[in-house]
Structure 1
Amino acid sequence: MQTVVAIYTGQGLADPLKKVFQEMLPDIRLVNIIDDSLIGDVVRAGHIPEVVSRHLVQYYRHAEELGADVILNTCSSVGDVADEAVGTIGIPIVRIDEWMAAKAVAGYARIAVLATLPSTLEPTLRLIQRKAEEAGKEVQLVSGLAEGAFDALISGKPEEHDRLLLETAKRATDAADVLVLAQGSMARMEQALAEATGKPVLSSPRSGVEHVKAILDAVKETKTGS
């Protein structure tokens, strides 16, 4: 049985992502490592503190010890740590948002990135720009920070979170061909945002699991071939 270890910096995405795994990869062993102190440290610092990077790398190594075939880094705010760890960890590490970024670049020239935290917005913008450069394409990036939405969500006001996110999406719509949701936890708003703006909306949970599936299929094929 193949094993995927998903590493979380907060609680919110674990259950929705588990459902995606059950749908797309029902036969794998899924192990979750959740340290909800990490995102709080990132938000307070406004960047990724060294202690957060160190803890994440420790979790990657623990995932290896657990027999993981693939590690899924589920938090876009710390995606840069996953990139830096590639090569030092003996198994593939998937950034949940990597294929989403690649799809945005492949299909659209004007890309609006929506986020509720600056710590997630900036890494996602950088990732999309890097994917554009790798593809030899020029893209126009639009920043859409829904200020106050994250605080509303953690204060138990999801309706306020959704309202602020929707307002931000509407402001970004005219300058964009597609809306990209920087945080996996925003995926539940995908359909509502598409209906309200008339623009395609990309989110990371499903494409992240698709990326994991592609790697697992390749690993299985290699083992079968050998």
Structure 2
Amino acid sequence: MIEPQPLVAMIHAVPAAQRIAAETFTREFPQATVWNVLDDRLLHDARAAGGLTDALRRRMLRLIGHVMDGGAQALLLTCSSYGEVVDTARALWDAPILKSDEAMFTAALSAPHRRVAVVASAPPAVPAAVTQLEALVPAVRPGRPVDILTALSEEAAATDDAEAAARHLADALHAVGGTDVDAVLLAQYSLTPAGQALAALLGVPVLDGAGAAARELRGLLTSSGRTAAPARTVAP
């Protein structure tokens, strides 16, 4: 049954992701009622333990169970660390459960892009994003491989100015020959504010995870989403 104001839960590991996801859903999926849950100790505890432990995975699943028991009709996990428990969660609950960047990667691979760039400002985000993207290729575009370029700019994480962050990301892309790409994918929610400026600098579409997730869930949960225009990217 399609609800007029579907309840969408979001589980976050950092406050910045909560703010950015909320702002994005207000713009892209205003019909949704958003329920935010924050575990701001998760990444600290994972680092202290040397990675995700069985106890931390159970903790993640308990949080997912909490929002599902509370009536959530869909769930967005804004931290890539939660990707490890998504398959288990999908087997336990019927509601749509999205990994942080899953919708963005699917949208990018569904387009006729031959070469895409993945950009980040934190080193762990790069391999995590590439692994997810490559895993989706056989299912989304069988027989049509895509070239993936990566660029890292830790300077982009050191500024609160979106245009400055975009310039740092563009410089990092130029340094690795990233001017010849069909689209750019932002590997972190924290980079979303820089998307529009980065698109203007590079002259190619820039996709962000929060926006893609909002559009994906809008299409699944609302009648208007079923007839909405194709997914929008940030374009120059």
- TM-score, L = length of structure 1: 0.82
Instruction: Provide structure 2 residue ranges, at least 5 long, that are not aligned to the other structure.
Output: 227-236
Is 1:181 paired with 2:182?
Answer: no
Given that 1:144 and 1:169 are in contact with CA atoms closer than 8 Å, whether structure 2 keeps it comes out as: yes
Compare the two structures and name the one with the higher helix fraction: 1
Question: Equivalences for 1:5-154 in 2 at 5 Å?
Answer: 5-42=9-46, 47-107=51-111, 108-134=113-139, 135-136=141-142, 137-147=144-154, 149-150=156-157, 152=158
What is the CA distance between 1:92 and its match in structure 2? 2.1
Given that 2:116 and 2:185 are in contact with CA atoms closer than 8 Å, whether structure 1 keeps it comes out as: yes
Question: Equivalences for 1:152-167 in 2 at 5 Å?
Answer: 152=158, 157-159=159-161, 162=165, 164-167=168-171
Given that 2:126 and 2:187 are in contact with CA atoms closer than 8 Å, whether structure 1 keeps it comes out as: yes
Pair 119,42 (structure 1): closer, same or farther in 2 beyond 3 Å? farther
Pair 158,73 (structure 1): closer, same or farther in 2 beyond 3 Å? same
Q: Distance in 2 between matches of 1:110 and 1:44?
A: 37
**Higher mean C-alpha displacement, 138-147 vs 72-81:** 72-81
Given that 1:75 and 1:96 are in contact with CA atoms closer than 8 Å, whether structure 2 keeps it comes out as: yes
| Match of residue 197 from structure 1 | 202
What residue identity is the alignment partner of 1:89?
Answer: W
Percent identity (aligned): 26
Cα RMSD after superposing both structures: 2.7
Given that 2:126 and 2:150 are in contact with CA atoms closer than 8 Å, whether structure 1 keeps it comes out as: yes
Kindly report structure 1 stretches of 4+ aligned residues shifted beyond 6 Å: none
* Secondary structure of 2:10's aligned partner: strand
Given that 1:5 and 1:33 are in contact with CA atoms closer than 8 Å, whether structure 2 keeps it comes out as: yes
Pair 178,203 (structure 1): closer, same or farther in 2 beyond 3 Å? same
What is the CA distance between 1:198 and its match in structure 2? 2.2
Q: Distance in 2 between matches of 1:90 and 1:54?
A: 19
What is the CA distance between 1:10 and its match in structure 2? 0.4
Q: Distance in 2 between matches of 1:48 and 1:58?
A: 15
What is the CA distance between 1:87 and its match in structure 2? 0.8
What is the CA distance between 1:149 and its match in structure 2? 4.4
Instruction: Provide structure 1 residue ranges, at least 5 long, that are not aligned to the other structure.
Output: 222-226
Q: Distance in 2 between matches of 1:165 and 1:43?
A: 26
1:146-191: CA deviation from partner (whole Å, max 9, x where unpaired): 24544x3xxxx43598254332233342353221101112111111
Q: Distance in 2 between matches of 1:185 and 1:2?
A: 25
What residue identity is the alignment partner of 1:14?
Answer: Q
* Secondary structure of 1:158's aligned partner: coil
